[in-house]
Structure formats: C-alpha cells, structure tokens
Chain A
Amino acid sequence: MVSLFDPALFWRYRHQLAAGAATTLALGACAVAASLVFGLCGWALKTSRHRPLAWLGNTYVEALRNTPDLLYIYGLYFGLTQVGVRFSAFTSAVLALGIQGGAYVAEIVRGAFTAVTRDQRLAARALGLRPWHSLVHVELPQMLRVAFPALGNQVISTLLGTALASVIAVPELTYQSQIVGDATYQYFSIFAVDAVIYLVLVQILTRLFHFVEHVWFGKWRGTV
C-alpha cells in the first residue's frame, strides 16, 4: 500500500511530466498564434463596411463567446469526419482553442483600435503618411500598448484551456497526470503536482508580461 500523499511522485515521473509540460506549452503557443490569426480576421470582418461581412464577424464573436470550448474540441475531432476532413488530435485542439480564443482577441483588438484617438490618425495623415504607414508606425504600436494586458490574460486562459485537449488524448500535462494517476492510484498527489506546475507556468508568464510591459511601454507615460 502506497502512502496517500506522495510528493516524491513528482521526481519519479519527472520525465513524463516534463514531456507533458512541453506539449502543453507547444499547444498553448500554437493555439495563441491561431487565436491571433482568427482574432484579426474576426476584427477585420466585424469592422467591415459591407453589412454581410460585418454580420459574419459579429456572429462569429458572439457565437464563440457564448458556447463552451470543449464543444469545439469534440466537434473538430469527431465531427468533421462526416465531411471527410480528419485532423490529428493536436491540430483539432489548436484549431478549437484558436477559434474560440480568436473571438476574445477580436474584441480586445476592437477595444484597442477605438482607444487610439482620431487625433493620432489625423496627425499621421496630415504628415502625409498613407493609411498603411499610419497603421504600422502610429496606430499598431499604440494599440499594442492598450491591448497588451488583456492579451496577456488571454494567453493565460488559452494556456489553461489546453488541459481540455486531454479528452482527445493529446499527451499534454493533464493527460500525462491522468496516466500517472491511473498507474499509481495516487490521484491526490499527482493532480496536486499537476496544479502546481500550471501555477508555476502561469506565474512565470504573468511576471514575464509585466516585465515586457514595463520595458516596452514604461516610458510612454501619458497619452498626448
């Protein structure tokens, strides 16, 4: 009979857990990248001057924000076989989390865009900057500052969302923990360890974002 609480479990299964954490990070990074792509597309649609496109963008954002992400993981993994499309578990999870996260990113970008004042766009135009240059050199850097904290939170919630990929057997951290739990029957210890690893990852990311925010935007005090 093993003891009920066994922190040494962490050491014994360190390789599995490390591999799981690495997969979690890779999955999280891919999902964040996908959510940025979906988010920018969603925002572009939402703000389109063509009514049907704007409707499409709004529907995307509202539909995805009001339904659970697990639905999309199941839907993409099992469901699309009917249409003849088959994704790997990893790809399904990336797409599901990316599509869902994109809806939130679209809202964040919209907020940031409205935060850059009309005055800034006027000043850029008065200097003869074309819309593209104005976007790249004047608007985007300021949008990034406004959106940065919210995007940081979004990255973290996407990272936490990757745990759901365990249901379709993506070998990420939670899946590995389950395997260890099933083998040792030490669910209490292993999920405690699992939780601590997530906690550490989230704390590292949070600190990192604060640091980057300070370095990049610290000097821009006060908008003009």
Chain B
Amino acid sequence: MVREVAGDGLMVAVAPYVGLLVRGAMITLEVSALALALSLVIGVVVGMVATSRFRLPQAAARVYVELVRSVPLLVQLFFVYYGLPLMFRVNFSPYQAATAALSLYGGAYMVEAVRSGIQSVGRNQWEAARALGVGYWRTMAHVVAPQAIRVTLPAAVGIFISLLKGSSVASIIGFVELLQTAVNIRNSIFSLSPLLVAGILYFLMCYGLSRFGGRVERRFRYGAVEAGRG
C-alpha cells in the first residue's frame, strides 16, 4: 500500500529514516502512556468528588470538565507552555508541558468515564453494603470499583487513543515526537513519505488499541458478573 501511494523512489528515500520514525513512535507512546496514568489519577480523584454529595467540589469538577472539553487542546498546550511560566516563574520543557497538558486533557474525559462507571452501579449496591455495616471507602474499593471498571476501562482505552493522536499537537511547541520527527525528515528529503510512514505507525498503535478496547468491552459485557467479583 505504501509503495502504491508514494512510489518506489520516495520509499527508498525514507528507508534510512524508518528507525528514527519508530523511535519517534516510542516517544509518542511514552508521553501518551504517562499522560494516561496521570489522567487516571485525576479521573479517579475528581470523578469520586463529582459523584460525592459535596456541592462545591462537585461544581468545581464540572467546570474543569466543561472547560477542557470546550477549549482546543492546542490552546491548552500553549497556555501551559507559554502562559504558566510567565505567571508562576517556572519553566517547562516541551516534554513536561506536553505531559501536563495532555494529562489535564485526558483527565477531564477520564472524570466522565469514572463518573459514568460509578453511576452505572445501582444504589442498591451501596445500600446493601451499608446494611452490612461496610463503610464508604471499603464499599467503593470492594463493591463499586470492581463493577464500575466495566464501564470505565473501555472508555479509558478510547481516551488512550485520543491521547496518542492528541500528542501530535505537541509537535507545535517543538516536542520531537512521531509527527515532528516525520516533519523534520520531510524538510530534509522533501518527500511526503515520512508523513505516510508516520501515519501508518499512528494507525498501527491506535487501531491495535481500539481492537483491544473492543475485546475488553465485549468481555466485560458477557462476563459482567465474574468481572464484578474481580
């Protein structure tokens, strides 16, 4: 497929750079995985706040989610990379800024995933646990979380895919990940082929993940009861 689109000559030109592009893909994967881990932390903490009974933190959680979902990722990234250092006299490397912005971005979607996961567990589960004298934290950990994960985990896979794709935006602040690697190579060999190879690498990562996500979702759908005990 690559040959048909780019032509033989172009593929020969990009051949020496494939290793470089794969390295770029690894960086993309790394920063996305790190951001995923951090969004998970944000998601769990803020998600629990959002489903709690406390009004003010609840409203704050909603504002955070709404804000992140209504502003382009690029603007969030610019804000973190160019804006925050001026205000707080800190300096971010592109890597740190990208990780921070992507975590905040993924975190907002994760809050929703965690919230809908927790809300998918019926009230009666809480009541049953309370009737047995089990407290909030233990109920959350042993009863609710294992069931919520059926909804949250497939959504988390989707968020991981968004982060993989979204991390390409960090190339704009000079973070050399997969897309920026491809653009750099393009600028030296003047060929579309590095972008094409980058596209294929993105596809392999994201499509592989989405297939995996589909499997996870199906498994949880059919094995719902077993998963609940996990």
Contact = CB atoms under 8 A, between A and B. Distances in A.
Q: How many A residues are at the interface, by size bracket?
A: 35 or more
A195 B199 contact: no
B65 interface: no
B111 to A, nearest CB: 17
Interface string A168-192: 0000001001100100011111011
A71 B78 contact: no
A215 to B, nearest CB: 23
Interface in A66-104: 66-71, 74-75, 78-80, 82
Interface of B is mostly: helix
Interface residues of B, number: 40
A71 B179 contact: yes
B75 A195 contact: yes
Given A4-B86, A62-B207, A198 B179 contact: no
B83 interface: yes
Interface of A is mostly: helix
Contacts of B171: 70
Contact of B198 (A66, A71, A160, A167): A71
B206 interface: yes
Nearest to A191: B79
Nearest to B66: A199
A198 B165 contact: no
A5 B86 CA distance: 9
Given A188-B84, A192-B79, A71 B203 contact: no
B143 to A, nearest CB: 33
Given A71-B199, A191-B83, A199-B71, 4 more contacts: A69-B165, A82-B190, A177-B78, A186-B86
7 contacts: A4-B86, A63-B203, A66-B161, A70-B172, A71-B168, A181-B78, A192-B79
